[in-house]
Amino acid sequence: MRTTNILKGLERTWLRGIFLLFAIACSGSVKAVNLNYDNLSSLEEPIATQLGEITFSLSGLVDAAILVPDDVSNQAGNDSFLVGNFQVQAETQLANSWTLGAAYFGSVDTADSADESYTENIALFISGVWGTLAVGDVTGTARELTRRRRGTGNGLLFFADELGTLESLGVSYITRFGPSRWMVTADEEGNYEMAGTYQRPMGNKDYRFSLRWRDTEFLTSTQSQAIQSQSLTVVAELTYGSTVLDAGFGVEQLAVSQAEVDRVYLNVGFARKWGAWTSSAEVHVAETDAQSETSVALGLRYEIARGLSANIGINSGDATVSFADIELLESDDTQGTFSIRYSF
């Protein structure tokens, strides 16, 4: 399988080359390397200090939560749990004005005792006026650049992503050209992703548009069969004062052996801030070969003090999707979550 992936990667070299040449031509400095692909992230500016020629920065959060499922008797994990994550970054400027740095992200989650409670991402990067080149656990950065905004508080929209994913370890390149940013990333198996986003204010509004193309091969949940996935996702976002409206539309083609099927999905969201309160509502619908999936997420956050907040989420999802006798999605779940969160 690895030889096949390498050959496929070589066949697509011309496409990556065209994109990379375009990105290099659009010279712009992009230094931030975000390794947090979790559902929770700090809303505060990183804490920074300088020691000699090296600048260190730190950000993170701690979240103490209570989960209320629709059927307590079937709850496999803990009904109360702790989530915490942090990212530390160190960087220095070289004599030629390039920036050399390293980033480390760690996350602990005790919600499900069956999974590993601690995960980590590590990356090395170098940046200049030409952009930022990074290597390590960086294959999630394209999605972070182009995804819809996450729900407020503990709002979490189920199924609202491509089924095909990249391996964690890989390389990424990102550059900026005016109000747009462009990225290409590839993993160790030859899977790749290309993305771009355009954002700028117009009058009293702010608009953001993004595009993401992903080509990957992934294993089913039983690790028994490989599925080829090619997907295109488009996101549009409007910010007007304290209100945010956004929508994401995507088409994912799944193939195995001689069978193919298209998964078409749409998710929309609304968020608004009233003083210390922020709320959000999201809906996801999709169809795969006449099999439907739906999910709804409601979130609410109350800011108690700087960095300290109370959060509520009510999330529901229903999907039964199979393809070529392979189970892709099987879920019918509704749950509520309350937590106290501190971000730094």
pLDDT tens digits along 146-176: 999 999 999 999 999 999 999 999 999 999 9
CB of 287 closer than 8 Å to CB of 310: no
Opening angle at CA 27, ends 231 and 199, nearest 5: 55
pLDDT given at position 17? 42
pLDDT tens digits along 201-229: 988 899 999 999 999 998 876 666 889 99
Percent of the chain topping pLDDT 70: 85
Q: What phi and psi values does residue 24 have, to the nearest 5 degrees?
A: -65, -35
Structure-token pair, residue 10: 């070589």
pLDDT given at position 116? 61
- 1 pLDDT more than 90: no
What would the mean pLDDT of 112-138 be, rounded to a whole number?
A: 89
Any idea what DSSP says for residue 257?
Answer: T
What would the mean pLDDT of 140-149 be, rounded to a whole number?
A: 94
pLDDT given at position 12? 47
Any idea what DSSP says for residue 292?
Answer: E
What would the mean pLDDT of 233-244 be, rounded to a whole number?
A: 97
Structure-token pair, residue 192: 């790749």
pLDDT given at position 205? 94
Domains of the chain: 2-343 (2.40.160.10)
Report helix angle 13-25 to 2-11, nearest 10: 50
pLDDT tens digits along 276-291: 999 999 999 999 999 9
What would the mean pLDDT of 8-15 be, rounded to a whole number?
A: 43
Mean predicted lDDT score pLDDT of the chain: 88
Q: Maximum distance among all alpha carbons in the chain?
A: 62
- 79 pLDDT more than 60: yes
| H runs (alpha helix) in 258-341 | none
CA atoms of 101 and 235, how far apart (whole Å): 31
Residue with tokens 């910010």: 239
CA atoms of 296 and 301, how far apart (whole Å): 17
- 11 pLDDT more than 50: no
pLDDT tens digits along 34-59: 999 988 888 788 899 999 999 999 99
Q: What share of the chain is helix, strand, coil (3-state, %, to 5)?
A: 10, 60, 30
pTM, 2 dp: 0.83
pLDDT given at position 6? 38
pLDDT tens digits along 280-339: 999 999 999 999 999 999 999 999 999 999 999 999 999 999 988 888 999 999 999 999
pLDDT given at position 326? 87
What's the one-letter identity of residue 35? L
pLDDT given at position 214? 98
The whole-angstrom distance between residue 107's C-alpha and the CA centroid of its chain comes to 15
Q: Please state, in angstroms and as integers, the Cα–Cα distance from residue 233 to each residue in 230, 250, 270, 280, following that order.
A: 10, 4, 19, 22
pLDDT given at position 78? 54
Q: 165 burial class (0-12, 13-18, 19+ CB within 10 angstroms)? A: middle
CA atoms of 185 and 171, how far apart (whole Å): 6
Instruction: Using pLDDT thresholds of 50, 70 and 90, give the confidence band for residue 246.
Output: very high
pLDDT given at position 31? 53
- Please report, in angstroms and rounded to a whole number, the separation of the first and last CA atoms in the chain: 44
